[in-house]
Amino acid sequence: MVAKDSIELDCKSLEEEKTAVDAQITEIPSIFRIPQGTLSDKKPSVSSSSLAIPIIDFADLAASREFVVEKVKDASEKWGFFQVINHGVPLSVLEEIKDAVVRFHDEDPEVKNSYFSRDFSKTFIYHNNFELYSSKNGNWRDSFAAYMVPPDRPNPEDLPVACRDAMIEYAKHVMSLGGLLFELLSEALGLNSEMLKSKGCMKGLLMAGHYYPPCPQPDLTLGVSKHSDNSFITILLQDQIGGLQVLHQDCWVDVSPIPGALVIYIGDHLQLMTNDKFKSVEHRVLANRDRPRVSFGCFYSSQMNPNPTVYGPIKELLSEENPPKYREMTIQEYTKGYIEKRLDGTSHLSCYRI
């Protein structure tokens, strides 16, 4: 257990190191260095052009819902991930939330540091690495985060002016897209379309803005290390810089940015609820030397719900041939273990396997 004083001190020194990065240092501080061989631990990265990365066009819903549900099913089972286009979130709203991440990043350090925290129970927090004190190495990125749902949080006044309006507007659009996604995912499981929503999958929404500064030694660190998400699903917006990779058939696959598209990940909680029918996808982000990268993640997770709900494999999916593979858990319990375990490249789901 690290004493609070030394945490404060460490935060400060990390901040200073990051400031040094902004001041054009040529060598990254040791805290950000990944173990040798991490980048080459799998088969070489494959560009998306040689593999049919699932892209689902929601404009097809007008012609055939079954067609789209089938594509969602296939992608969720085989990849645990897909990209959606024509999803209904206006391009201007996507642009505005990315601009908001940059605006916050460009604020004076005093403004940003007034939000510095890793305590997700606070309304709005800013940090370098949420699991820094339990991790082997730091990730080359800065993030802010806020729970936008349940609807009584946050008090808009508590969000920084630089991103307040953009976050509120974006949350409205994401909640509407999330509703549609949970319906399609329920149907893809052969369940009533309201099933996942009725289980509380939309009770909590954590929104996080990520800024990945250019890195002088991108081969020695990662923007974010390999992990699967602590969520039911995640809706991710990335800019056009690239660097996101998903692990597929033991091979890192580049998720090349598509203008206007959103990336959807199946998270750990949905893998558990579907008894492994849907897979939570492991992913990471490479650092890059030349330009900053911005992404914005929306994580459906009911962590902030004051009444913890118990989750386990959905009964309707179980049978004699398909007995439960996981024991039940609450999201709060899962999240505590997920953070303690750190982003060490192993799945926290294995702790719940029967």
Ligand X SMILES: O=C(O)CCC(=O)C(=O)O
Binding mask 184-223 for Fe ion (x = CB under 5 A): ----------------------------------------
Least distance between Fe ion and beta carbon 142 (Å): 16
| Residues in the chain, total | 354
Q: Is 229 in the site for Fe ion (CB under 5 A)?
A: yes
Q: Is 297 in the site for ligand X (CB under 6 A)?
A: yes
The closest residue (CB) to ligand X is 295
If the CB atoms of residues 73 and 98 are measured against ligand X, the closer one turns out to be 98
Least distance between ligand X and beta carbon 1 (Å): 26
Binding mask 251-290 for ligand X (x = CB under 6 A): --------------------------------x-x-----
Q: Is 229 in the site for ligand X (CB under 6 A)?
A: yes
If the CB atoms of residues 131 and 229 are measured against Fe ion, the closer one turns out to be 229
CA 82 to centroid of chain Cα atoms: 14
Question: How far apart are alpha carbons 23 and 57 in whole angstroms?
Answer: 43
Residue 173 phi, psi dihedral angles, 5° rounding: -70, -40
Q: How far is CA 230 from CA 94, 227, 242, 282, in A?
A: 23, 9, 23, 11
Least distance between ligand X and beta carbon 268 (Å): 11
CB 326 within 8 A of CB 352: yes
If the CB atoms of residues 299 and 326 are measured against ligand X, the closer one turns out to be 299
Q: Is 295 in the site for ligand X (CB under 6 A)?
A: yes
DSSP state of 243: -
Q: Is 210 in the site for ligand X (CB under 6 A)?
A: yes
Place of tokens 């990471």: 284
The entry of Fe ion, ligand X, none near residue 203 (CB within 5 to 8 angstroms by kind) is none
Residue type, 233: I
Task: Point out which span in 44-52, 80-88, 214-222, 236-244 binds ligand X (CB under 6 A).
Answer: 236-244
For every residue of 286-309, DSSP letters joined together read: E--SSS-EEEEEEEE--TT-SS--
Tokens of 20: 């040094």
Secondary structure of residue 322 in the 3-state scheme:
coil
CB 240 within 8 A of CB 323: no
| Site residues, Fe ion (CB under 5 A) | 229
Q: Which residues contact ligand X (rule: CB under 6 A)?
A: 208, 210, 224, 229, 236, 238, 244, 283, 285, 295, 297
